[in-house]
Every structure is written in structure tokens, then in C-alpha cells.
Amino acid sequence: MRHSLPTIPQFYVTAPQPCPYLPGRMERKLFTALQGDQAEAMNDTLSKQGFRRSQNVLYRPSCAECCACLSARIRVEDFEPSKSQRRVQRRNAHLRRHVTSAWATEDQFDLFRRYLDSRHADGGMADMDVFEFAAMVEETPVRTRVLEYLDPAGGGRGSLQAVCLTDVLDDGLSLVYSFFEPALAGNSLGSYMILDQIALARRLGLPYVYLGYWVPGSPKMDYKARFSALEVYHQDKWQTLQAPENYSGTTHPLSVKPIAEQVANLEMPDSLSAPVAPGRMLRGI
């Protein structure tokens, strides 16, 4: 007997926990499961409304008194690299891009561990083991690719220098997570992967490259504001990023809409029913 998954998405809210970007603040996320035959349509539609994917979950920050986190994307057609970004392209021009399905390897995990131990030893992913890493890469119900960047001089298929986990949306490429060889930090491999995926999106005729969240006031996120033709999802619409200092990360108890109103205002794919009514929404723990 065939059993169908429910088509009406249910939305939940995480319990508050310390913010990884701005000290002294608490973060909270609005999220829904990504499952069933409509997973790709959900990913496409909610990504346009500031959501991000993590394995089988779509989430968006929904903090009680802060709206600093802004989903960011680059308009591919209008992007022009800066002088420093052109230097990054030349510095890494020897790397070869290898695209695979969403399948984790030992080489990827070894590089991932070196990256975390060097740059994010106190972060939320610091204790991830090989099985959790495999789940991060492989548990995806949508079109996901792993982009490996190899140095041919390493012999054989080349030495692995950087990896990017990327979703293919109907209007762009969405960078889910990336990491690189920490010993080569001076090569700006993180920026290089973004530049390379802009070029790939242009070749595929996709209008956007989604970068995740830009957080004004967070040094970890400053690099995203250096890309031209950058848009942020602010006040329920995409708008071109103006001077970064004009975006405030200050807290205010009225800066965030109530959860029920957020859910009620979400647009869903045409093939799905309306979002869950606010009265039925549950709060996750």
C-alpha cells in the first residue's frame, strides 16, 4: 500500500540559542521539513523568500528582537569582478573543477576536518564526525551537486583544495556550504569558489547565485558585501545592497513580525496547498 506524505507544509520554531554571528544575542529559526514529491518546488519557492536548506530542512532566521541576518544573492548578469577579485581568479586559475553528485568521500572529510580545526574550532560544527558529514552532503531531496576544486600538480586526479556543496534552483545556484585547505588561506579560495559559480551560473543561463546570509556587524560575513550586484532580502523583498553601514544590526522588540504573521504571508508553490494556518503552528524545542 502506498502512503503519501502530507502536502500542507508545517512550520515550527526552534528554541532560542546563542547567536553564532553577533555576541550576546540569541537566535531562533523558523523551519519546515523538506520532503516528498514537492521538495524541489518548495526549495525553489522558499529560497526566493530568504530560506536556506540544511539537509532535509528549510529554515529562515526569526529572532525575537533582531533582524540582522539578511539572505544575499548576486545578480549574475550585472556582476563585475573587482580588481582584487580578478587577482583571486588569476591566482587560482590552475585549479580544475570536478562536479559530482551529492556523495561524500574520505578526502572531502579530511579536508573538512582540517578546515574546521583551523578556522572554526569553537563553532557549532566542530564536533562533526564522518557520519554527520556524510549526512550533511548526502541527505538532500533536491538537485544538489558537490563541486571539488583540484590542483592537477598533486598527481593522479589532483589534490583536493576546496569543496562546495551547491543546490541547483530554478533561478540560480545556492551555495549550501563550502570549505577549503586552511594552509592556502592566502589564495582566497572561499571567494574563488563564489566567482567560479557565478561563471557557471552565467554559462547555464541562471540569473542568481545565492550566498546564504549576510550579517551586518559580523566580521565573518564582511566578504559577501564585497561582491558587486549583491541583493539582500530585506523587509520581505529583494533589494540591491546599498552602503553596508546603512543596514543596522541593532535589536528592537518590534523589529520582527509575529511568527503567525510570517507564516501566513509566505508564498507556496502553486502545486501545494496554502501554508499551515497560524493556529495550527507548533513550536519546536
Final residue belonging to a domain, choices 154, 178, 205? 205
Give the CA angle between residues 57, 29, 231 to the nearest 5°: 85
Residue 128: the pLDDT is 85
The CATH number assigned to the domain holding 97 equals 3.40.630.30
Residues 146 and 188: their CA atoms lie apart, in Å, by: 19
Residue 285: the pLDDT is 23
Q: Is position 89 within any domain? A: yes
pTM recorded for the entire structure: 0.89
Question: Looking at 9-80, which runs of residues are DSSP E strands?
Answer: 11-13, 17-18, 26-27, 29-33, 52-54, 57-61, 70-75
Final residue belonging to a domain, choices 144, 176, 205? 205
Residue 253: the pLDDT is 60
Find out whether 210 and 54 touch, Cβ atoms under 8 Å: no
188 and 266 fall within a common domain: no
Domain hosting 118: range is 78-205
Rounded mean pLDDT for each run of 10 residues along the chain, 285 residues in total: 60 91 90 91 96 95 88 97 97 96 96 88 74 96 97 84 97 97 94 98 97 89 92 92 75 73 87 48 33
Final residue belonging to a domain, choices 152, 177, 205? 205
Q: Is position 38 within any domain? A: yes
How many structural domains are present in the chain?
Answer: 2
Residue 252: the pLDDT is 63
Q: Is position 174 within any domain? A: yes
98 and 60 fall within a common domain: no
Residue 123: the pLDDT is 62
Residue 217: the pLDDT is 83
Q: How far apart are the first and last CA of the chain?
A: 33
User: Which cell is 92 given?
Assistant: 587560482
